[in-house]
């Protein structure tokens, strides 16, 4: 895809639940923000050709990468970063930082 902007965002102490238990995760999320058209394109209005070329930046979970991740249970005990729990932790980090990354992409 064209128009990709790489944005790094700190995810600091993101709380989430997995299988009924509370956890916290911190780290850095690398978002690959793609510039996508959200306008209606060219059209004709009262005999004149018009254009709405609006764009937005979009980050997708499957393209994000993570660094310096610390995963802990609700008692503060550090846990291994493996399996379904780690996948849920990455999803929580991505959700917590997605909007910030998409906004920052406009400033690059």
Q: Tell me the C-alpha to C-alpha distance, in Å, between residue 43 and each of 8, 35, 38, 86.
A: 37, 22, 14, 47
Question: How do residues 58-108 score in pLDDT, each as one tens digit?
Answer: 999 999 999 999 999 999 999 999 999 999 999 999 999 999 999 999 887
β-pairing, 48-52 vs 55-59, is: unpaired
Read off the pLDDT band of 52 (50, 70, 90).
Answer: low
As a residue count, the chain comes to 108
Question: How do residues 14-27 score in pLDDT, each as one tens digit?
Answer: 999 999 999 999 99
Q: Extract the tokens encoding 8.
A: 């790094």
Q: Do 31 and 98 touch, CB atoms closer than 8 A?
A: yes
C-alpha–C-alpha distance, residues 51 and 39, integer Å: 8
Q: Do 5 and 105 touch, CB atoms closer than 8 A?
A: yes
- pTM to 2 decimals? 0.80
Read off the pLDDT band of 3 (50, 70, 90).
Answer: confident
- For residue 8, give the nearest of 27, 25, 36 by alpha carbon: 27
- Dihedral sign for Cα 23, 11, 97, 88, please: negative
């Amino acid at each position: 895809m064209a128009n990709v902007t790489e944005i790094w965002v700190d995810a600091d102490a993101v709380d989430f639940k997995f299988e009924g238990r509370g956890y916290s995760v911190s780290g850095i999320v690398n978002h690959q923000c793609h510039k996508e058209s959200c306008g209606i394109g060219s059209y004709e209005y009262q005999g004149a050709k018009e254009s709405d070329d609006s764009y937005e930046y979009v980050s997708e979970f499957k393209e994000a990468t993570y660094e310096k991740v610390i995963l802990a249970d609700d008692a503060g005990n550090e846990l291994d970063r493996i399996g379904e729990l780690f996948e849920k932790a990455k999803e929580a980090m991505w959700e917590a930082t997605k909007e910030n990354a998409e906004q920052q992409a406009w400033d690059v």
